[in-house]
Amino acid sequence: MRVFSGIQPTSQLHIGNYLGVIKPWIDLQSANNECLFWVADLHALTVPYKPIELKKRTSEVVAAYLTAGLDPKKSIIFRQSDIKEHTELCWLLSTITPLGDLQRMTQFKDKSAKHAKNINAGLLNYPVLMAADILLYQTDLVPVGEDQKQHVELAKTLGKKFNNKFGEIFNLPKAVIPKSGARIMSLTEPNKKMSKSDTPTSYIALFDSPEEIKKKISSATTDSGKEVKFDIKNKAGVSNLLTIYSLFSEQPISEIEKQFKNKGYKEFKESLAELLIKKLKPFRELEAKPEYIDDILKQGAEKAQVIATETIQKVKKSMGLI
């Protein structure tokens, strides 16, 4: 299977990104798939950003990929903007994309509300660029978090529409959403998804210090009860912490519940903070060597380019451009 996914270098990665996508990527890489994991820097331009920070963030994302276990010998690791065919295919696909479909996208509505002063056309066309990313590489599987499912479905719809109109060019992708971890919730508002665009107390960044981790976990919102028990409806905060505990410790939730039976939230939270401090140590100690990362991106781009060129030639031929 060809597996394809990326993350935007918008700001620090958090444990939601790690548990929802990066960790499942490692499993897919180990299962002998043909993997492309890359950095969506063109998508990151759709919300306000500082140009001098973009390259640094891109390097940080790649460094986090490597620390988490992505292996450039097994997976193609590259930067979106190095392959110009992404934007070329985006334009070609936009000519068959109904405007209404883009206006209906949940993320477009959310981000427009959040950045009311910067509702640019790129934000609306974001899912078309994402469809171009996916279809360009003849992707089978797209492992993403729950919030990106709608975009992957649009990519499939556009691929199908293109194939019906111009001939069988694209392989049709499928989203892969993890059973657990696809939606890690905010620490402060456990009914909202953990997001790096919210206040830092609501998420644990991969590079947070032990003190920050302790502080954030101890002040994470829980209910007024005492029992460490998984119950999304009545105990959203505790259930979210249990999910995080379970995924990092690789223990089933039922076992963790047993371990903290009659022990209360304080002890549970202290133990979770210790676990996170231990598991995130490699990220904290990470030393991003810029030349090494540039080299990986260069080699990745060379491999990605071969696939991109082949697809775009077929697309342009089928559309009457060549």
Binding site for ligand TRP (CB under 6 A): 4-8, 40, 43, 130, 133-134, 142, 144, 148, 151
Binder of residue 301, out of ligand ADP, ligand TRP, none (CB less than 5 to 8 A by kind): none
Kindly state whether residue 12 participates in binding ligand ADP, applying the rule CB under 6 A: no
139 binds ligand ADP (CB under 6 A): no
- Three-state DSSP at 312 gives helix
- Please state at what angle helix 106-114 crosses helix 149-166, rounded to 10 degrees: 130
**Which residue number, 196 or 314, has a Cβ lying nearer to ligand ADP?**
196
All residues at 6 or more sequence positions from 310 whose CB lies less than 8 Å from its CB, including other chains: none
Q: Half-sphere exposure (CA, 13 Å, Cβ side) for 93?
A: 31
Minimum distance, C-beta of residue 131 to ligand TRP, in the bound complex (Å):
8
Q: State yes or no: is 279 an active-site residue.
A: no
Q: How far is the CB of 160 from ligand ADP (least distance, A)?
A: 22
**Angle ∠(55,59,64) on CA atoms, nearest 5:** 145
CA pair distance 26, 22, nearest whole angstrom? 7
Judged by CB under 6 A, which of 3, 45, 128, 182 binds ligand ADP? Answer: 182
- Selected from 195, 239, 240, 311, the binder of ligand ADP by CB under 6 A is 195
Catalytic residue among 193, 214, 216, 235: 193
Q: Which does 195 bind (CB under 5 to 8 A by kind): ligand TRP, ligand ADP, none?
A: ligand ADP
Indicate whether 193 belongs to the interface with ligand ADP (CB under 6 A).
yes
74 in active site: no
Among 149, 196, 215, 314, the active-site one is 196
Euclidean distance between CA atoms 7 and 21, whole angstroms: 9
The reply to whether 7 sits near ligand ADP by the rule CB under 6 A is: yes
Give min distance, CB of 162 to ligand TRP, in A.
17
Any idea what DSSP says for residue 83?
A: -
DSSP result, 56-79: HHHHHHHHHHHHHT--TTTEEEEE
For the record, the structure tokens of 129 come out as 């660029």
Contacts of 276 (CB under 8 A, 6+ apart): 15, 204, 213, 217, 244, 248
Examine the residue annotation and report whether 196 is marked as an active-site residue of this protein: yes
Tokens encoding 186: 């905010």
Q: How many residues bind ligand ADP (CB under 6 A)?
A: 19
Closest CA to 25 of 144, 150, 115: 144
Q: Where are the alpha helices (DSSP H) in the chain?
A: 15-17, 23-30, 51-68, 85-94, 99-103, 106-114, 121-136, 149-166, 210-218, 236-249, 253-259, 264-279, 281-284, 290-318
Instruction: State in angstroms the smallest separation of the CB of 61 from ligand TRP.
Output: 11
Residue 6, SS3 per DSSP: strand
| Secondary structure class of 175 (helix, strand, coil) | strand
Q: Which of ligand TRP, ligand ADP, none interacts with 16 (beta carbon under 5 to 8 A by kind)? A: ligand ADP
Smallest separation, CB 277 to ligand ADP (Å): 20
Identity of the residue, 93 or 185, whose beta carbon is nearer to ligand ADP in the bound complex: 185
Give the shortest CB-196-to-ligand ADP separation in angstroms: 4
Nearer to ligand TRP, 6 or 190 (CB): 6
Comparing CB distances to ligand TRP, the nearer of 12 and 148 is 148
184 is a site residue for ligand ADP (CB under 6 A): yes
Selected from 90, 194, 213, 297, the binder of ligand ADP by CB under 6 A is 194
Catalytic annotation, residues: 111, 193, 196
Residues that bind ligand ADP (CB under 6 A): 7-8, 10, 16-17, 20-21, 144-145, 147-148, 182-184, 193-197
